[in-house]
Structure 1
Amino acid sequence: MDYEQFKATFAEDLKTNLQKQEIEVDVSEHYIEKLNDSYDALSVTPKGSSIGVNANLDEIFHAVERGRDYSEVLSGVTESLKGSFEHMPKLQVSDLTNYAEMKNKLAMEVVSAERNAGMLQNVPHEQMEDIAVVYRLVLDSSKDASSTVLVTNDLMDKFGITHEQLHNDAMKNAPLIRPAEIKGMEETLNEMQGGPVLEPDPDEILFVAGVPDQNHGAAVIAYPNFFEDAAEKLGGDYFIIPSSIHEVLLVKDTGEMNARDLAAMIREVNATEVAPEDVLTDHAYHYDSKEHIFESADKFEERQAEMEAAGPEEDRGSLIDQLNAKKEEAAKEAPEKAAKDAVRKSRGGKAL
Structure 2
Amino acid sequence: MNYENFVKKIHGEFEMLAERKGLSGRVVIRDIVKNNNVHLKSISVVNDENRATPTIYLESYYEEFCQGKDISDIANEIFEMYIMNSCGLNFSMEDFMNYSYIKNKIAYKVINYDMNREMLKTVPHLHILDLAIVYNIVIEEDAYNSATAMIKKEHLDMWQVSKKEIEEVALTNTPELMPPVIMRMEDLLAEMIINDISMQWDDEDEQEQWDFVKEDCAYGGHPKEKVSEYVREEIEKMKYDDKIDMYVLTNEKRINGAGTMFYDGLLKKFADKIEKDLIIIPSSVHEVILIPKDNEISDEEINEMIGEVNENELETVEILSNHMYLYCRRDDRIYM
Is TM > 0.5 for Structure 1 vs Structure 2?
yes
Shift of 1:145: 6.1
Counterpart contact for 2:183–2:248, Cα < 8 Å: yes
Amino acid at match of 2:6: F
1:274 counterpart = 2:275:
no
The residue that corresponds to 1:12 in the other structure is: 12
Shift of 1:149: 0.7
* 1:306-321 aligned within 5 A: none
The residue that corresponds to 1:75 in the other structure is: 76
Shift of 1:2: 4.2
Between the two proteins, the alignment pairs up a number of residues equal to 295
The residue that corresponds to 2:305 in the other structure is: 265
1:209 counterpart = 2:249:
yes
Amino acid at match of 1:14: F
Amino acid at match of 1:98: N
Residues 84 and 48 (structure 1 numbering): CA distance in 2 closer, same or farther, change over 3 Å?
same
Counterpart contact for 2:10–2:71, Cα < 8 Å: no
Question: Aligned partners of 1:232, 1:144: CA distance in 2, in Å?
Answer: 37
Residues 141 and 239 (structure 1 numbering): CA distance in 2 closer, same or farther, change over 3 Å?
farther
- 1:29-59 Cα offsets, whole Å, 9 max, x none, are 2221233332232232355443222232444
Question: Aligned partners of 1:229, 1:129: CA distance in 2, in Å?
Answer: 21
Amino acid at match of 1:198: R
Residues 143 and 287 (structure 1 numbering): CA distance in 2 closer, same or farther, change over 3 Å?
farther
Of 270, 274, 283, which residue of structure 2 is paired with 1:234?
274
Question: Aligned partners of 1:185, 1:30: CA distance in 2, in Å?
Answer: 38
Q: CA RMSD in A?
A: 2.4
* Structure with greater contact order relative to length (CA < 8 Å, sep ≥ 6): 2
The residue that corresponds to 2:43 in the other structure is: 42
- 1:224-249 Cα offsets, whole Å, 9 max, x none, are 12221231343320111111111111
Residues 239 and 97 (structure 1 numbering): CA distance in 2 closer, same or farther, change over 3 Å?
same
Counterpart contact for 2:50–2:93, Cα < 8 Å: no
Residues 141 and 180 (structure 1 numbering): CA distance in 2 closer, same or farther, change over 3 Å?
farther
Of 281, 285, 294, which residue of structure 2 is paired with 1:245?
285
The residue that corresponds to 1:151 in the other structure is: 151
Counterpart contact for 1:28–1:43, Cα < 8 Å: yes
Counterpart contact for 1:240–1:249, Cα < 8 Å: yes
- 1:156-206 Cα offsets, whole Å, 9 max, x none, are 221211111111111111111111111122332333344334368998721
The residue that corresponds to 2:178 in the other structure is: 178
* 1:34-183 aligned within 5 A: 34-36=34-36, 37-46=38-47, 48-88=49-89, 90-140=90-140, 146-183=146-183
- 1:84-132 Cα offsets, whole Å, 9 max, x none, are 11122x1210211222111111111111111101001111111221111
Question: Aligned partners of 1:72, 1:44: CA distance in 2, in Å?
Answer: 20
More divergent stretch after superposition (90-99 vs 227-236): 227-236
Question: Aligned partners of 2:125, 2:67: CA distance in 1, in Å?
Answer: 38
Question: Aligned partners of 1:142, 1:266: CA distance in 2, in Å?
Answer: 35
Question: Aligned partners of 2:313, 2:110: CA distance in 1, in Å?
Answer: 19
Rg bigger for which structure? 1
Question: Aligned partners of 2:300, 2:322: CA distance in 1, in Å?
Answer: 11
How does the TM-score come out when normalised to structure 2?
Answer: 0.80
Amino acid at match of 2:319: V
Question: Aligned partners of 1:66, 1:130: CA distance in 2, in Å?
Answer: 39
Residues 100 and 47 (structure 1 numbering): CA distance in 2 closer, same or farther, change over 3 Å?
closer
Residues 16 and 47 (structure 1 numbering): CA distance in 2 closer, same or farther, change over 3 Å?
farther
Residues 81 and 128 (structure 1 numbering): CA distance in 2 closer, same or farther, change over 3 Å?
same
What SS does the aligned partner of 2:42 have?
strand
Residues 243 and 183 (structure 1 numbering): CA distance in 2 closer, same or farther, change over 3 Å?
same
Residues 260 and 24 (structure 1 numbering): CA distance in 2 closer, same or farther, change over 3 Å?
same
Counterpart contact for 2:95–2:101, Cα < 8 Å: yes
Runs of 5+ consecutive residues of structure 2 not aligned to the other structure: 195-227
Percent identical residues: 26
Residues 93 and 279 (structure 1 numbering): CA distance in 2 closer, same or farther, change over 3 Å?
same
Question: Aligned partners of 2:141, 2:271: CA distance in 1, in Å?
Answer: 29
Residues 25 and 121 (structure 1 numbering): CA distance in 2 closer, same or farther, change over 3 Å?
same
Counterpart contact for 1:35–1:116, Cα < 8 Å: yes
Of 233, 239, 258, which residue of structure 2 is paired with 1:218?
258
Question: Aligned partners of 2:142, 2:246: CA distance in 1, in Å?
Answer: 26
What SS does the aligned partner of 1:157 have?
helix
Counterpart contact for 1:108–1:134, Cα < 8 Å: yes
Question: Aligned partners of 2:127, 2:270: CA distance in 1, in Å?
Answer: 20
Runs of 5+ consecutive residues of structure 1 not aligned to the other structure: 297-352
What SS does the aligned partner of 1:51 have?
coil
The residue that corresponds to 2:213 in the other structure is: none
Question: Aligned partners of 1:58, 1:204: CA distance in 2, in Å?
Answer: 38
More divergent stretch after superposition (17-26 vs 121-130): 17-26
More divergent stretch after superposition (162-171 vs 223-232): 223-232
1:291 counterpart = 2:298:
no
